[in-house]
Chains A and B, each alone.
Chain A
């Protein structure tokens, strides 16, 4: 499938905040060396649990007042965007840079506003629930575009911005949206990816606990263990990953480093259940993404799974993968990033893709850790367990992401 460079969208910068790394080099190092980012955590009302928390310095790119007035999701977004632009060697508004009105910000979110709403309710609980103590900052903090909007305010970006609410498929959908906005001619540069501030809300922990889907383990670094027979749920994490996306011709013209090409994607709906995944639609989503990329299953060298560590969800995804990737896919490796960082919700897919992109250069596939006893129902050929493997070649990565209400998004990135 030959497309002109003006119709090909490439990644030229990566900024990320992961529970086990504040940039791609740190993150990748952790993934190749078995370093988890999950730690003990205590949150009001819920109590002791585990979570993946980021340790970047928000004051690197924000004033203290901006941090106080804004949201955690906004701070993560701002950090990731600054880091991505610096990585891409791209300035906004400066001579030789991109015009501020030709830049767009498109960030996937699983949810937004729960943290801020809980905070305000807690605050007024100190005043007998009198709403006159409710902050005037509540509305700008909780509007759904908040994380992307805070980025535009911080950087003076005057092009479009919005968030993409897509449950745990949001990170992939943010990237797909960014590519689409460039192809539509709405922007020249898209800052696209996904963000999560979810550990700030006790509600998400309590709801997963009530659903019997919250991970626990005496060693927090082992709590997230997709595919392990003893897995017992999700580790809630925060994080973000933002990509600088631009057309290939533009990237070449400015001699930019190219991490990979957004070669194909698909998003669809299970139309079946509020929570339970549907492997039929997941498989369909993978196939359609392959078709859009002009690839066959055997062309994929890494499948980064969505698997979150729930007993049912991991098995369903394995069923879907088996259905699409048959015995001919001898060079297709399968891994999972959540085993290191937990489930970064809206950021998950974008972060997990980032952790795998260096494989185009080093040919190494990071493993799935914490698998002491592989669940027989999760056995897949070339599932990379506990130690990295050196692949013969890595030219294409298929990144799965699936979310509640049956939203699926599969993204394929290829080496350029």
Chain B
């Protein structure tokens, strides 16, 4: 997946998990913390596991803070997908 495809995939997951939020206007550096509750965040981790086979260990959760940091973190594991 390209970096742009990875960002799109993340926004798709976020839209499924919190469909009431306006994700289209999400900027790469916006914090996800205000839009996601703790259980939502676990949903993101689960969806990455289900859809892409990516495991995010708990100690790495902090790296999924923004759309950009998510893309940074997922670039390597999703490069070959």
Q: Which residues of A contact B (CB under 8 A)?
A: 63-65, 68-69, 127, 132-133, 135-137
* Distance of A68 Cα from B15 Cα, bound (Å): 12
Could you say which residues of chain A place their CB within 8 Å of the CB of B33? none
| CB-based contact B46/A65 at 8 Å | no
| B66 to A: closest C-beta gap in Å | 20
- B49–A64 touching, CB < 8 Å: no
A233 to chain B, nearest CB (A): 39
Q: Is the CB of B39 within 8 A of A69?
A: yes
Residues in A with CB closer than 8 Å to B42 are 136
20 A-B pairs whose Cβ atoms sit less than 8 Å apart in the complex? A63-B20, A64-B19, A64-B20, A65-B17, A65-B19, A65-B20, A65-B40, A68-B17, A68-B19, A69-B39, A132-B49, A133-B46, A133-B49, A133-B50, A135-B46, A136-B39, A136-B42, A136-B43, A136-B46, A137-B39
Interface majority SS (helix, strand, loop, mixed), chain A: helix
Report chain B residues within 8 Å CB of A132: 49
CB contacts (< 8 Å) of A68 on chain B: these are 17, 19
Binding site for A on B (CB under 8 A): 17-20, 39-40, 42-43, 46, 49-50
Min Cβ gap B33→A in Å is 16
For residue A130, which residue of chain B has the nearest CB?
B49
Nearest CB in chain B to that of A62: its residue: B20
A69 to B50 Cα, complex, angstroms: 17
> A69–B41 Cα gap in the complex (Å)?
13
* Count of chain A to chain B residue pairs whose CB atoms are closer than 8 Å in the complex: 22
In Å, the complex CA distance between A69 and B19 comes to: 11
Cα-based distance from A63 to B43 in the complex (angstroms): 17
Q: Name the A residues within 8 Å of B19 (CB-CB).
A: 64-65, 68
* Cβ–Cβ contact B50 & A127, under 8 A: yes
Quick one: closest B residue to A133, CB to CB? B50
| CB-nearest residue of chain B to A132 | B49
| Chain A residue at minimal CB-CB distance from B38 | A136
How far is B65's CA from A92's CA once the two chains are assembled, in angstroms?
A: 37
Known: A64-B19, A68-B19. 7 other contacts (CB 8 A): A65-B19, A69-B39, A132-B49, A133-B46, A133-B49, A135-B46, A136-B46
Known: A136-B39, A136-B42, A137-B39. A65 touches B50 (CB 8 A): no
Closest 8 CB pairs of A and B: A64-B19, A63-B20, A136-B42, A65-B18, A64-B20, A65-B20, A65-B19, A133-B50
Give every chain A residue within 8 A of B50 (Cβ-Cβ): 127, 133
**B40 contacts which chain A residues (CB < 8 A)?**
65
Residues of B within 8 A of A64 (CB): 19-20
Q: How far is the CA of A136 from the CA of B43 in the complex (A)?
A: 8
Tell me the nearest residue of chain B to A68, going by C-beta.
B19
B17 to chain A, nearest CB (A): 7
A113 to B77, CA, bound (A): 36
Bound Cα distance from A136 to B42, whole angstroms: 8
With a cutoff of 8 Å between Cβ atoms, the chain B residues found around residue A69 in the complex are 39
Query: Closest chain B residue to A64 by CB distance?
Result: B19
A136 to B39, CA, bound (A): 8
Min CB distance, A234 to chain B, in Å? 36
Q: How far is the CA of A39 from the CA of B50 in the complex (A)?
A: 35
Q: Inside 8 A of B46's CB, which chain A residues have their CB?
A: 133, 135-136
